[in-house]
Structure 1
Amino acid sequence: MSSTSRTIAATPEQVWSVLADGWLYPLFVVGAARMREVDDTWPAVGSKLHHSVGSWPLMIDDTTEVLEVEERQRLLLLARGWPAGHAHVELLLEPRGADTLVTIKEQATGGPGALVPKVVQDPQLHLRNVEALRRLAFLVEGRAKEGRLP
């Protein structure tokens, strides 16, 4: 399982407020092109994000579902992106003084992506998640600086 972490200059509550707004996911999830719908109960267990991946005109509609949630601490998702397959993506938030250590753990769990050897899969997921955490930090820290977060 690939694991990538970054400290974000914001509280866990502020980071969580961005994660809890499903409409914001294409702003930080690498590969997500657009959001089509967000279940009203997001991020409750069983709720889904209805997103598209790829580049126009070759876009694929799929979903990401919440499998487990511990508010302001942990979110376990089943991210689908056919034809590649699906993956478990875990987001962990740990307070570090006034900051938050955010960790993304990801592993392909089905479809062709799961057949890729971990020695090849993990470095690719790590690089993608370095960028995802970079984008998430820009989003959270920018909104916090503007006073747009709790």
Structure 2
Amino acid sequence: MEWTGARYADAPTIEQRIRIAAPPERVWDLVSDIQLYPRFSTELQTVEWLDEGGPGIGARFVGRNEHPSFGKWETTSYVVSYQPQRTFAWAVSDPATPSASWRFTLEPREDGTELSQWMQMGPGPSGLSLAITRMPEKEQKIVFVRLRELENAILTNLEAIKNLAEA
């Protein structure tokens, strides 16, 4: 992926895919379990549902994060797409103008499942936009570095889900 020159206002995106030798039902059980995400992440520390009954469109969950450059913070996410064994997506902070959006998509394949994870920065403000406001001349570098971190996190997520699903 090439992000040279990406600006936050452009709402840059990342998407990675992986083939998993397991049926969509098994992959879905892992993808839809938000409690699993902190196991794979150096940034996301804890996640918990705020609404009884867990996932479904409109359901909310809180994530607590920590990053060497950004410190500690908490966000509330809103489920914006929930199609069992197909799509699980959420918007961070504000569903109308999220600070980030995330999505898992499952595609059945003859040999198992193709799983993709996608994320988009913005368009709403985030901790990253605070750094950009302080150093506007470094915006492209700030965005590039953050996208690289998120790409690595997504690849780690997908590989971990694959390993669990195929075990």
TM over 0.5: yes
Structure 1 counterpart SS, 2:99: strand
Of the three residues 97, 108, 111, the one matched with 2:125 is 111
Q: CA deviation at 1:30?
A: 5.2
CA radius of gyration, larger in: 2
1:15 aligns with 2:27: yes
The equivalent residue for 2:165 is 140
What's the C-alpha RMSD, in Å, of the aligned pairs?
A: 2.6
The equivalent residue for 1:42 is 54
Q: What letter matches 1:102 in structure 2? A: L
Structure ranking higher in strand proportion: 1
Deviations 1:6-29 (A, max 9, x none): 112211111111222232221235
Cα distance in 2 for partners of 1:127, 1:22 equals 19
1:90 aligns with 2:126: no
CA contact (8 A) 2:40 2:160 kept: yes
TM-score by length of 2: 0.68
Residue segments in structure 1 that go unaligned for 5+ positions in a row: 143-150
Q: CA deviation at 1:107?
A: 0.8
Q: CA deviation at 1:123?
A: 3.8
How many residues are aligned here?
136
CA contact (8 A) 1:23 1:38 kept: no
Cα distance in 2 for partners of 1:139, 1:62 equals 27
TM-score by length of 1: 0.74
Cα distance in 2 for partners of 1:117, 1:93 equals 32
Residue segments in structure 2 that go unaligned for 5+ positions in a row: 1-12, 133-138
Q: 1:36 to 1:129 in 2, by over 3 A?
A: same
CA contact (8 A) 2:32 2:88 kept: no
Structure 1 counterpart SS, 2:22: coil
Cα distance in 2 for partners of 1:33, 1:40 equals 21
Q: 1:17 to 1:90 in 2, by over 3 A?
A: same
Q: 1:36 to 1:105 in 2, by over 3 A?
A: closer
Of the three residues 87, 92, 109, the one matched with 1:79 is 92
Q: CA deviation at 1:40?
A: 2.8
